[in-house]
Amino acid sequence: MLEAVKHPLTEAEAKQALAGGQVSVDRLVQLELLRREGETYRLNYLLLTIEDQQTIYRIASRYGRSLADAFLVHRAEFEQIAERYPDAALRPQLLFGLVAGAALNWDGLELTTELGYRIRPSRHPSGEVYIVHSKERGAKLNLTGLYLDSQTVSGSKMSFSTFGDGESLPRRQGLPDVFDGIEAAVEGWRKLPAIYAALRSEYIAYFLEAMEDAGQVMNAIVAGLDPTAVTIPEARRKATLQLLISVGYLRENGGRYMPGIPVLTARDKPQVDAALTLSRTIMTGWLRQNYSAIEKELTGLSPMRNGVPFSLAFSEVWHYEFGFAAKFLAESGFYADPRAPGSRYEGYVPLVWASSLLKAPGQ
């Protein structure tokens, strides 16, 4: 594939490159990774070389600052939206979750697809819908502070997310990440496949039930109720409270519990909708103004030179652009800075939200 990036391959060159392996030229064509043009084969999917990645990173940094500036123009409006949240100390984190997470990341991906800037995954001859994407190793990009990653578990009533940079993974004080140890717990049974599979299924079932319990407890406390109002067994309630306090999601003061992180319930729908609507308006205007220029600056990427549409590459480009925008907004004080000294959640921000309020990717 890296040879196909450089120039079209003759059939002899392609076969020679694959000699001794288990993959044939015909199979790569069938998988739509190569395409035949006359007597040669050309790259047919998104493969980014080290140079491609470095170019995207450099250019996205500049456009990311421009996107951040577009949001900063509306700073006062976003602050007015955040002021509706009752706990003033949590408003910077809330604004991070709504703008960097729900708007720039989740809705930004949806919006760029709706506007035709970002390609939808195609249906392949197998009937499956997906995009194949490769990166050459060794680009050595500094991703600290590029808040382009989210982790979410959606519950029946409440969902748990963390928004942050890739360097913060695993997020050991964030839900759902705190349950990552489940994977390690079953490793000793890998040589017993039937038991291994059953244990994984069992642990996942209990993990999801634990998340449901946590959602019920957080929802009750935000509503001003005592945790005993949650109708789950006492042992589970005590374990849930202990976990939520230990990771800072709850604070206890004289027998009373208060949220330690932003929690959005149905009552917060007006401010959530306001933040997303304003963000979408800003992003739409910015994209229409800048997309053509971005495409022009990146026409030299190897996928574009091989006839792959830019809309396929723009998914990667947009991730870096909104990641840089989120970074610059954090550094400007627009919202919480997860990389500020003393931040408990280093490199990320947690958010608990009513499942009816937002749409996470894949929902």
**CA-to-CA distance for 271 and 253, rounded, in angstroms?**
28
**CA-to-CA distance for 71 and 68, rounded, in angstroms?**
5
The domain limits of the chain are 2-44, 50-84+92-130+267-348
Contact in structure between 354 and 157 (CB atoms under 8 Å): yes
Residues in the chain: 363
The model's pLDDT over 317-357, given as tens digits with 9 standing for 90+, comes to 999 999 999 999 999 999 999 999 999 999 999 999 999 99
The model's pLDDT over 101-129, given as tens digits with 9 standing for 90+, comes to 999 999 999 999 999 999 888 887 788 88
The model's pLDDT over 21-39, given as tens digits with 9 standing for 90+, comes to 899 999 999 888 999 999 9
Residue with tokens 């697809």: 113
First vs last C-alpha separation in the chain:
33
Within 10 angstroms of residue 150's Cβ, the number of other Cβ atoms is 19
pTM over cut 0.75: yes
